[in-house]
Structure 1
Amino acid sequence: MHPLEYRVVDLPESSLHKAAVLVLGQHRAVLVGTGLRLSDGRRLVREVERSGRRLSAVLVPHHAPDCWLAAEVLRDAFPEARFLAPRPVRDRIERDHLAVRAAWAGLGDELPSRLVALEPLEEDAVELEDHRLELRGASLGLPDLHYLWEHRSRTLLGGPLLWLHVHPWLAATPLAPQREAWIDLLDEMAALEPLRTVPGHRHLTTPVPAPVPEGAPAPDPIAWTGDYLRAFTTELGKPVGPDAVTAALLRRYPSAALPSAVAPAVRAARGEPAAA
């Protein structure tokens, strides 16, 4: 059986440090995520073409715009590919796409112009040749957050559940039970003992305070995300204002990308309106 190959495409800060993943079989490929901007879509088209495989499917695992907004570029380049999403994800994108496009109008010429129709993913996996990319997660507390697991290679694609050196967008999960459910899913991932773990967002140029020893283990997105969620809860529980909580999190993670995500997350968790 031909093993799968995983090519991670790290998109820039202007695309929220999204990590799209091209999963390659012997003859066909599946792309997870489309990117945010038109240039993201064009870059992913080039990666597929360079692979020499036929793109059979594009999977949209979450309703975050960096997972689907640039799909039109891939649809135009690969008209025979299927565009798939879990039904709740597809329904939310169809409901909110006009508001999302308005919210991202600042992209200007980089803003995609149309919604690509998504097929509901009725099964719990995407098939690629003789392999299964299993869709897991989606607990009662977080019904629309998924990750992918391929058991032969012990590969875990964390999607919106895993972040590495990037402040997570927690404004969409402001409640304590949601963060607790998230940590439960992280424990579920860790119990799989993956050999390869790819976060949905990562910043690989983060400076470190000292040289990393040769042979040291690679950064673990599961542990990093869990540490961040617990730190967020700890700082949020202190009897200080939202600005002080935001400052404390920025001090804890001084090199993490997207620091602008922290203040909205804190205010949402406190039930306060966003700053003007």
Structure 2
Amino acid sequence: MQYLSQLSGLGSVEHSTQTLTVRGNPDQIIKIDGKSEYDVRAQGDSTCCIRDICVLPTGLVLVVDSNNNNVKLLNQQYQLVSHCSVSHESLCICQITPSEVCVTVGAEVQFIKIKNNKLVKERKLRFQHHCYGIAYHQGDLLLTSGTSLYKYLLDGKLVSTLHKDDSDKWTVWSCAVSLTGDKLYITNFPQDKLLTLARDGSVLSIFMDPELEWPNCVHVTPAGQVLLCGRCSKTILQVDSQGSRKLATLATKRDGLLFPWSVCYNSTTDSIIVGQNNNNKILVYKVK
């Protein structure tokens, strides 16, 4: 099977054999203007926990519901149109091609195709470690195990261990890649940190802030902006693309946040989608 090597947010990137140019300013501050809520329960669901979110180029939205062990497909109006069950607790998701995603499930990565607005499970990769965070960049699959960040090929072959920290549990949880692939972002939620790594895994910066407690999710927008989700601080923060300083506090408990687990930018609707712990509704914040 052939896989496309491409970047998330392709509309923001020009790619040739000579140069890679990102359009837009990755440090442009996002401003919020209004909020909507959408129920994402499927029939027979218990209370949802939306651990991760992915927006496809078509505007379709996928949400990972770990409480119900399934992946859900939403249309552009955030209405549930399809869902599929997975074998264990589902955690994180990343886009591989415009119609294919990967989801971490226990010690496996489940490949899922989107066909005619339906989710179709395809092959699996099995690993010798638990799989939590996942990201993809130009043929490389990045996986976190809770204490390590690994680089694999799409056939499951290990390329390298990029980062390891066994000082605590879940020191390497969520991961994301800058659009140009020169920086890797990982969250260490028991120590309230965001780490920014170089391509070889060396640490470039460590970000901490009083408004960031238990950072579960890090997300890179199609313009290269870096968003952080603090579950216990009940915050969504924007940090600079170097991962060294806070640019803005985008949302807090006053804006309806209650234990946010996931954050994702939707360029189709110019909005920020937030998933929460033990909550049936996603929050959609309109961007000015």
TM-score > 0.5 by shorter chain: no
Looking at secondary structure, tell me which structure has more strand per residue. Answer: 2
Scaled to the shorter chain, the TM-score interval is 0.3 to 0.5
Q: Which has the higher contact order (CA 8 A, sep 6+)?
A: 2
Work out which of the two has the higher radius of gyration on C-alpha atoms and give 1 or 2: 1
Looking at secondary structure, tell me which structure has more helix per residue. Answer: 1
The alignment's TM-score, normalised by the length of structure 1, stands at 0.33
